[in-house]
Structure 1
Amino acid sequence: MQTEAAFPATAQREGPLKRFRVLDLTRVRAGPTCIRQFADWGADVIKIESPDHMEVSDGWGGLRDGPDFQNLHRNKRSLTLNLKDPKGREIFLELVKQADVVAENFRPDVKFRLGIDYETLKAVNPRIVYASISGFGQDGPYAKRPGFDHIVQGMGGLMSITGDPSHGPMRTGIAVADTGAGLYCAMAIMTALLEREESGQGQWVQVSLLQAMIAMCDFQAARWLFLKEIPGQPGNNHPTSIPTGVYPTADGYINIAAGEQAMFRRLCTALEVPELMEREPYSTEQGRSDNRVALNAELSALTRQRSTADWMVRMEECHVAAGPINRMNEVFADAQVQHLGIATPVKHKRIGPVEVVGQPFMMSRTPSQVRSAAPDRGEDTEEILRELNYSAGQIAALREQGVL
């Protein structure tokens, strides 16, 4: 394992993962989502990018200073390296000797053509944990297909259970397959690093967007596997627990979740219709589920009579699970969101102070840090090569030769 002393102290890296070095070959979203988990918790993450002259983007074009790129790539150093050049590959292998993790989301065949596949790197560093994210898996009939979030949302079943059935299949408003695959991959790498503490050996971990998407369908997928039920599109209703969904108010909408008997009783109290709890067919959970359209119509007629804010006061008084449906500006103006501090400040050298989305979990002794904005392409190339004992003259020569 690389020692802390061998790592640079740039931007005061701290955190529970500061002893690890990660070589980041990922691009677009799923891979960077994974590596962000290491960068925020203190790992020395080196983002390896193609030199400018190769005219290969990270999938972002000219949006490097935009919110998406900055949100994904904070806390990293950037090294430009032409991996198609033998000298570039040689530098990469030197870095591998000192690294704990290599992560990539190329098409499955690319790493073999570049000579940076797991077996090759294992020969250089048997302790390396090598992580691969793909659209559909490293092998199999779909392995060479390009993997895009939108496509996988459909293939993994999510779009068939999202939205109103009268409008056909519906994708979600976020890249849920990409994000899920990235987070599962981060968990897989962490698991491999923990196992390495016993075995002393690294291993190859593999995650696909398709597997992640199916896993995130969770209970809906289990309904088919266990009961052979094909879930449909429930719209804003919960598939099984009614009433759970969106209800109109005098000035907008509110979410209510009151499918369980005690919660439905409290909802009837909040709405000042206690008799509704005893009226057939609404007295049982199954009766409410079977008659959801009629029940929702009655509830909607009641919720329309007051504003969202008024209903939130009333629901809280009666201990009913409910919440407003916020636009993004309202999300970050919310008192609880501000208390949690998930909007995290960072200073960008060109745009100045900005905010990014922080980590969604906290630790009492070793918190995450957003230390630095996303680096410019190759911003840290010279620093990283000096750590490998390259001289200024050697670095200049490598630049001249198009390696950097």
Structure 2
Amino acid sequence: MKPDLVYCGAQGFGEEGPSSDVPAYDDIIQAASGLSYLNSDSEGRPRYLPTIVADKVAGLQLAIAVLGGLINKLRTGKGCFIESPMFEGLVAFLMVEQMAGYSYVPSVGGTGYDRLTAPFRRPYPTADGFIAILPYSTKNWVDFFTMMNRPELAELEIVRDPIKRSENINTLYERLYEIAPEKTTDEWCEILRNANIPHTRVNRLDDLLEDPHLQQVGLFEEYEHPSEGKMRRVRSHYSMQGINESQDNPTQLIGQSTHRVLSELGYTEEEIRMLKASNVVKLSAVNG
């Protein structure tokens, strides 16, 4: 390996473990990591998240690791080999808040963050839809039950004492579940906004395309694809001030960059034509 090369491997399981040769796809990693268990339905049956979360987390972790390697190269002139396996990566992603009693040696309890695994931690049904309601501080909880004409709940120790509240959080979430159907989603949003209690309506995926905030910031943008015409995509969600940002480009057609890459490698036009005629390479009518 070139001494100044930053090389990264992103296999399913780490090379030094007994599962290093196990085939890995998103569903496999969701199941192996414990994520599908955490997402079990009300009858305890594990479920996959309906998104390729293992693939996407692996990509983010890979990018962060490579950036670290490149910074080290800038400082030292030396490259490195980076291994960023999917399985270990998703386990680390999940367990950072789920270690609980296993954080201690010897352990003082099992795994799991009680608030996150509480059965009634869910979006709540309203009179006409669903809403997420998250009283977080003591004031939030007291204000909520007071506004809902439940003064007896507002005075409970499990509401006013943060430690007791943490130990009984599922009981409090169950109260939210029981109260939420009393009002419509719009009514809840107005009440909770005025009380400064964290909340949001539950969006369908289709709703996101019409979301006023996302429209204002321009997250969904239309563009001209070289072969498919006008299309819509999700742009990069972050912005950087003080640098020249490049535009997002459409996914390239097969062979779109072949001519440019071969030319940069020193191949002549005649040699490139011969490679194409021999079906060694494919060239696209659109060059990139």
Give the structure-1-normalised TM-score. Answer: 0.62
How far apart are residue 147 of structure 1 and its match?
0.8
How far apart are residue 184 of structure 1 and its match?
0.6
How far apart are residue 159 of structure 1 and its match?
2.0
Distance in 2 of aligned mates of 1:156 and 1:169: 12
What percent of counterpart residues are identical?
A: 25
Q: Which runs of 4+ in 1 moved over 6 A?
A: none
8 A contact 1:268–1:277 mirrored in 2: yes
2:91 equivalent in structure 1 = 214
2:153 equivalent in structure 1 = 276
2:286 equivalent in structure 1 = none
8 A contact 1:346–1:370 mirrored in 2: no
Summarize the Cα distance change of 1:208–1:249 in structure 2 as closer, same or farther, 3 Å threshold. same
How far apart are residue 257 of structure 1 and its match?
1.5
1:263 equivalent in structure 2 = 140
Partner SS for 1:245: coil
Give the structure-2-normalised TM-score. Answer: 0.85
Distance in 1 of aligned mates of 2:98 and 2:113: 13
8 A contact 1:259–1:285 mirrored in 2: no
How far apart are residue 278 of structure 1 and its match?
0.3
Partner SS for 1:171: coil
1:239 to 101, 107, 117: 117
8 A contact 1:244–1:255 mirrored in 2: no
8 A contact 1:136–1:211 mirrored in 2: yes
Counterpart check, 1:156 vs 2:36: no
1:301 to 178, 182, 195: 178
Partner SS for 1:304: helix
Counterpart check, 1:230 vs 2:107: no
- The 5 Å alignment of 1:227-376 reads 227=104, 228=107, 229-231=109-111, 238-239=116-117, 245-292=122-169, 294-366=171-243, 368-376=245-253
Partner SS for 1:379: coil
How far apart are residue 340 of structure 1 and its match?
2.8
Unaligned runs of 5+ in 2: 282-288
Summarize the Cα distance change of 1:136–1:223 in structure 2 as closer, same or farther, 3 Å threshold. same
Distance in 1 of aligned mates of 2:128 and 2:176: 16
1:191-235 per-residue CA deviation (whole Å, 9 max, x = no partner) reads: 11111111112221111111110121043443253054434697x
Summarize the Cα distance change of 1:231–1:243 in structure 2 as closer, same or farther, 3 Å threshold. same
Partner SS for 1:354: strand
2:52 to 175, 178, 194: 175
Summarize the Cα distance change of 1:357–1:224 in structure 2 as closer, same or farther, 3 Å threshold. farther
2:78 to 195, 201, 211: 201
Q: Which has the higher contact order (CA 8 A, sep 6+)?
A: 1
Partner SS for 1:347: strand
2:21 to 144, 148, 153: 144
Amino acid at match of 2:126: T
Distance in 2 of aligned mates of 1:154 and 1:257: 29
Summarize the Cα distance change of 1:369–1:307 in structure 2 as closer, same or farther, 3 Å threshold. farther
1:347-389 per-residue CA deviation (whole Å, 9 max, x = no partner) reads: 2123222222222322112364444211111112112212223
1:395 to 268, 272, 281: 272
8 A contact 2:138–2:159 mirrored in 1: no
- The 5 Å alignment of 1:111-122 reads 119=1, 122=2
Distance in 1 of aligned mates of 2:133 and 2:154: 16
8 A contact 1:247–1:303 mirrored in 2: yes
Distance in 2 of aligned mates of 1:378 and 1:258: 54
Summarize the Cα distance change of 1:248–1:283 in structure 2 as closer, same or farther, 3 Å threshold. same
Equivalent residues, number: 278
Counterpart check, 1:386 vs 2:263: yes
Amino acid at match of 1:171: Y
Distance in 2 of aligned mates of 1:366 and 1:203: 28
Partner SS for 2:187: helix
2:285 equivalent in structure 1 = none
